[in-house]
Amino acid sequence: MAEAGHLRLAEPSLSDASCRTYFRKLASGVAVVTACGDSGWAGTTVSTLTSVSLSPPIVLCCVAGGSRTVAAVRHAGRFAVHLLAEDQSYLADRFSRPPSDGSRFEDLGHGVRLIRGAPTIAGTLAVGWCDLHAVEEVGDHVVVYGRLAAVCVGDTHPLLWHERSYHLLRGRRTTPLGIRS
């Protein structure tokens, strides 16, 4: 017997609406990607970020095609990926403004400085500085692969994105040995 909220098998279908609904079910961390392009600093919010390889250490993020941030990443050949902390939805909102809005870095309330060639926002959960490994256009997005050159990691919970809204990670943690904390 299926539990409430669980999938009941029916005839599968595919439409734009069903794809959007399916994608909304993915839960992901929220990150801001920044780079320094020929027209200045650029940054955008991404919810598609994943590790690809440990040796060498490579991550990928998906950015909307035609993005000013992709142009900056291509120009600079490097970028920073900021993992946002649970109390930083305002940063995610700020960096998801329309691309014509040049105020993403203005009056941020956080220290921002150029580190390893990329604008770096102080106070996020973690930052990974990447050298551009590859760029691939896929559908209406660009997949940007970065080889991690350095990281700085804090100690708090991440901001999560699910069902078109932000969520907090709560509940018990399990250590690798299976001991609950």
Q: Cis (ω within 30 of 0) for the bond into 98?
A: no
Q: Mean pLDDT, the chain, as a whole number?
A: 84
The reply to whether the predicted model has a pTM over 0.75 is: yes
Tens of pLDDT, residues 104-114: 887 776 788 89
Task: Assess if residue 84 is contained within a domain.
Answer: yes
* Total count of domains within the chain: 1
Q: Which CATH number does the domain housing residue 63 bear?
A: 2.30.110.10
Does residue 180 have a pLDDT over 50?
Answer: no
- Please work out, in degrees rounded to the nearest 5, the angle formed at the alpha carbon of residue 113 by the alpha carbons of 123 and 33: 70
Contact 92, 45 (CB under 8 A): yes
Tens of pLDDT, residues 52-88: 999 999 999 999 888 899 999 999 999 999 999 999 9
In angstroms, what CA-CA distances link 91 with 30, 61, 87, 125, 177?
A: 10, 17, 9, 12, 35
Task: Assess if residue 13 is contained within a domain.
Answer: no
Contact 42, 33 (CB under 8 A): no
pLDDT band at 3 (very low <50, low <70, confident <90, very high): low
Higher pLDDT: 12 or 173? It is 12
Tokens 């809005």 locate to 101
Q: Which domain holds residue 68?
A: 28-167
Q: Identify the bridge partners of residue 21 per DSSP, sorted by sequence position.
A: none
